[in-house]
Amino acid sequence: MRDQLRGSIKINARGRDLYGFINAVHESRISCFRQYVRRGSFCAEIYRSDLGRLGDIAAEHGVELTSYEYDTLSSEVIRRRRRFGLVLGIVLVIAASVYFSGTVVTIDIQGNKTVSDEVILAALDELDVRRGTPFRRINYISCENNLQMMVEGLSWAGMHRTGHRLVVEVTEVIEKPEMRRSRIPCNLVAAHEAEIVGVSVLDGQLMHKVGDYVMRGDMLVSGVTGDDTGHTTLHHALGTVTGIYSEEAVFTGTFEQERLVPTGRTDTRRRLRLFSLDIPLYLGKNGYELRREECAVKPLRAFGKTLPISVARYRYSELERSATELTREELTDELMQRVYLYEKNFLGDCEVLGRDITPTEADGTLTLTVTYRLKGDICEQREILIK
């Protein structure tokens, strides 16, 4: 490390009075390393600060002196001492490191599930706690108490510093579970016109058996029972009645559709993000009425740490409305995608035994009528009204 700071130079001396030169160097107490004499030349390594005195001794003894400086930290600094941009950059990095060490760079919220980060960050912003706030200005006790009162749904809040992060730990209020009115007297009626293929009754009186065909609204399980003495009991009918039934869904689309297509024109713009500031690095506005936007953010890193400074690159692609004439096959594919989404979202609780698709084309439209044969629970609760 000493050589890196003081600078190391290799010398080569050749001349008549070579040994007189060597003795004079030793008498002048110049530090020499790795010295040797070979083929009438004296080679050694010295510090940069001794090169001037060594040159004077060589001139006194008529010795030709050549030198070569090794690449060291001090030699790089000397070579680049007039590059003010590098010096300014080093100063800025040191200043940024000192500044960020006492400033909130990131806010880490922990423990929240129902209360969003945005709500908590907005409350902290009203308390003057945000990215870029010096830690010394934060009154932790006051902020913790105010945060509980400002954000509905929090029962406790705590804040502490970890490096350049402000950690906000919260505990949410545990809501009282909703009481289910599971003891209200009710009947189970058929929600579909179906053929019964399976029954499972937990409470109540079964009104139909397997193999029966029921209409919509027919009572399947009664919540009213009586005994031989004429006593009537009301039940909350529970059970599952599985049936096979039909259901119809209609999907319609037009052959002529208006779509957004790219024109080929693009525009790239950049923004400097400094803490919560968003600084545009361009002039003027983007004139695209319809556009697709893509954003890529590249954060600035120093010493392996991510700084709250980044450059956001926005790429805009212009779009325009264009009338497109679809073929029958293309429109059929689109409608079939809607059919599959319908089955995934609305028929997931039952088994699809079969489907019959009937296409109909009229007035520039294509309609798919899908008739499903389904197997599933056909029960629907119907409350018993008591005077």
- Band of the pLDDT at 1, cuts 50, 70, 90? low
Q: How far apart, in whole angstroms, are the C-alpha atoms of residue 109 and residue 121?
A: 9
183: in domain: no
Provide the 3-class DSSP secondary structure of residue 341.
helix
- Please say whether the beta carbons of 347 and 370 come within 8 A: no
Are 282 and 362 in the same domain? no
Q: Are 166 and 289 within one domain?
A: no
Last residue of a domain, one of 322, 344, 362: 322
Q: pLDDT tens digit string along 19-30?
A: 888 888 888 888
Residue 240 lies in a domain: yes
C-alpha 104/C-alpha 102 separation (Å) is: 7
Length of the chain: 387
Note the helical H segments in the chain.
Answer: 2-6, 18-27, 51-60, 73-79, 84-101, 117-126, 140-150, 328-346
Nearest one of 170, 177, 175, 164 to 116, comparing CA atoms: 170
pLDDT in tens, 74-93: 666 665 556 666 667 777 77
Query: Where is pLDDT greater, at 188 or 50?
Result: 188
Q: Residues 72, 97: one domain?
A: no
Taking a C-beta distance cutoff of 8 angstroms, is the pair 249, 215 a contact?
no
**Looking at the domain assignment, is residue 185 inside a domain?**
no
In tens, the pLDDT along 203-251 reads 989 999 999 999 999 999 999 888 888 788 888 889 999 999 999 999 9
Provide the domain count of the chain: 4
Instruction: Read off the CATH number of the domain in which 67 is found.
Output: 3.30.70.260
278-296 b/e (C-beta count within 10 Å ≥ 16 → b): eeeeeeeeeebeebeeeee
Q: Is the pTM of this model over 0.85?
A: no
CA distance 313 to 90: 26
Higher-pLDDT residue of 85, 381: 381
Choose the final residue of a domain: 43, 77, 111: 77
> Which domain range does residue 313 map to?
259-322
Mean pLDDT of the region 96-104: 74
> Do residues 230 and 297 share a domain?
no
